[in-house]
Amino acid sequence: MAQNTTAQHSTAQGAAAPSPAEPSPATAGAEPVLTVRDLQVSYQTDDGPVPAVTGVSLDLAAGETYAIVGESGSGKSTVALALLALAPIVGGEVRLAGRDLAGLSRHELRRLRGREIAMIFQEPMTSLNPVLTLGYQLIETIRLHQPLDRAAARGRAIEMLEKVGISDPARRLAQYPHELSGGMRQRVMIAMALSCNPRVLVADEPTTALDVTVQAQILSLLDDLRAEFGTGVVLITHDIGVVAETADRIGVMYAGQLIEEAPTADLFASPMHPYTRGLLASVPRVDLPPAGGPLAALHGTPPKPGKAPPGCPFRPRCGEAMDVCSTMPPLTRQGLRSVRCWLHDR
């Protein structure tokens, strides 16, 4: 891959010009299950509208894991919510299996969520109803979306709990969320999310609240289920290690924008955006002895939503900022990669 960059570079110049909103192709030939074009999300606050996401475009192929990484306030969780039309979308479009979410009624959206696209959250305790048994919640979810009678739905619930590695699933159905550990609850959430075999699973920091040994179990489980069901997974995380291990492609977000997108190996081998480079360099390595001297750290802090400076939002923290950076750089595509930085605009 590394030897090809110069060749790709020259062909990329022509390709970059026509539509900067077009993201890189997910995988050659495969029809994406989810396409996002120039997504704009803005929250109404007492101080007026605050733009949380400005112009994000991406494609997700079936069976692919696309990771969105970024720090707090970068807009990554807002993108996740927007994929289910749960955030106030003010521009652009989200298409799921060819259907534009904006054109759907509330009733149609409700039918879509769960069946076509499902979501799991960081905190599995607050996502489950504490006063209902797991069985009630699982069976209700299944019957809401599938024409199954109670007994068949119960069978399906047991089957799903088995799939996510919960022992003695029939007995678990009678238990309440508080009787389970955090890892077990997240398994139940995954079982619930996948019970209707959705095309897309949105996982927002699914392992952040879990211990590292349990995190390893859950990541491994998600990967197995993705392979088995062919579900496309959008993984939202701030953990660079988790991304390296699970993602096929990565989009890096900063201040509401996708500033770089690349296949996982390429991004780690040669990050292009100065922010991506700084981010990767500031992660301490658990598998290597410390290099000695201070850690490579980005200076400053990310801007608050809506408070980004004009032009490139990373400019105040960037060691390579130029005069031109006071205007917004375009998204430049180079082969399977794209980057929003004047350093790479040719």
Partner 1 sequence: MTAENASPLLQVEGLSQRFAVERDVFGRPSQWLEAVDRVSLDLRRGETLGIVGESGCGKSTLARSILRLTPPSAGRVVFDGVDLATADAATLRRMRARMQIVMQDPFSALNPRRTVGASIGDGLSGPGRRARVRELLEKVGLSPEDARRFPNEFSGGQRQRICIARALGPGPDLLIADEAVSALDVSVQAQILNLLAGLRQDFGLSFLFISHNLSVVRAFCDRIAVMYLGRIVETGPTEAIFNDPVHPYTRALISAVPIPVPGRHRAARAQLLPGDVPSPLNPPSGCRFRTRCPHADAGCAATAPALDPVAAERHVACLRLPVLPRGPVWQAPDTKEAASC
Per CB under 8 A, residues contacting partner 1 are 71-72, 181-184, 211-217, 219-220, 238-245, 264-265, 268, 278-280, 282-290, 294-299, 301-302
Of the pair 102, 265, the CB lying nearest partner 1 is at: 265
Of the pair 159, 211, the CB lying nearest partner 1 is at: 211
Least distance CB 258 / partner 1 (angstroms): 18
Question: Could you give the 3-state DSSP secondary structure of residue 251?
Answer: strand
286: CB partners within 8 A, 6+ apart? 241
Taking alpha carbons only, the member of 200, 198, 195, 250 closest to residue 34 is 200
Count Cβ atoms within 10 A of the Cβ of residue 17 and give its class: 0-12 exposed, 13-18 middle, 19 or more buried: exposed
Least distance CB 86 / partner 1 (angstroms): 24
Least distance CB 183 / partner 1 (angstroms): 5
Q: How many CA atoms are closer than 13 Å to the CA of 183, on its beta-carbon side?
A: 16
Of the pair 94, 209, the CB lying nearest partner 1 is at: 209
Residue pair 310/326 in contact by the 8 Å Cβ criterion: yes
Of the pair 197, 270, the CB lying nearest partner 1 is at: 270
335: CB partners within 8 A, 6+ apart? 4, 8, 11, 12, 24
Of the pair 150, 309, the CB lying nearest partner 1 is at: 309
Of the pair 16, 166, the CB lying nearest partner 1 is at: 166
Least distance CB 290 / partner 1 (angstroms): 5
CA distance 119 to 81: 9
Least distance CB 186 / partner 1 (angstroms): 11
Could you say which DSSP state residue 25 is in?
Answer: P
Interhelix angle 212-229/182-194, nearest 10 degrees: 10
Least distance CB 226 / partner 1 (angstroms): 15
